[in-house]
Amino acid sequence: MSVTRTLREADGQLTRRAASRIPPGFGKVLSAVEESAESSKLWCGAAVLMATCGGWRGRKAAATGLTALAVAQFAANGLCKQLADRPRPPKEWIPHDEVEDRPESSSFPSGHTAAAVAFTAAVAPSLPLAGALCAIPAALVAVERVQSGAHYPTDAVAGAAVGLGSAWVTRNAPRLALRLRLRLRLRLT
């Protein structure tokens, strides 16, 4: 049995279990968190709160978090989904009506998870408490995307990886650009 086939089968089993074994009350919490994160409302609200109450560190964290979120959305939705045309989990695997609300785009990777993780990981170094608080809904968003039948677990994991990469690029881009600029300047002199 190939590794790809084994991973695909495990992905399917985990998707079916997540969709059927999450208690209804917790499923409602997951749906409420996902709805607040839809169109980045939750992360924009958190950024406004950080910028308003956090002084210069809060403004820096908010700007970095929103930039990382935009990079993650572009990477996940603009690039990866276009390259990996993976169908969503079959509707018959999902024993509840949330499966009817899922998008028609590629399943891989989870753009919601990418955005949530990117924002959280970009904010955490500047405001650790805010990062820890944002990690809770970010994790819930990833779980909800699988529980609702919108994604396979590997889609959520890949979305988290895209989010972490986007946060790293966003936090390190200014330093890397400065280093490149200095190297170019030294070569020209």
User: CA separation (Å) from 83 to 54, 108, 109, 114, 151?
Assistant: 39, 9, 10, 16, 16
| Highest-pLDDT range among 7-16, 108-117, 141-150 | 108-117
- Which runs of consecutive H residues, i.e. helices, occur in 38-152? 41-53, 55-73, 81-83, 111-123, 128-147
Q: Contact, 79 vs 94, CB < 8 A? A: no
pLDDT band at 99 (very low <50, low <70, confident <90, very high): low
Give me the pLDDT at residue 11, please.
85
Give me the pLDDT at residue 177, please.
84
The model's pLDDT over 102-120, given as tens digits with 9 standing for 90+, comes to: 778 888 999 999 999 999 9
Give me the pLDDT at residue 167, please.
97
Query: For the residues 39-57, what does the mean pLDDT come to?
Result: 94
The model's pLDDT over 161-178, given as tens digits with 9 standing for 90+, comes to: 999 999 999 999 888 888
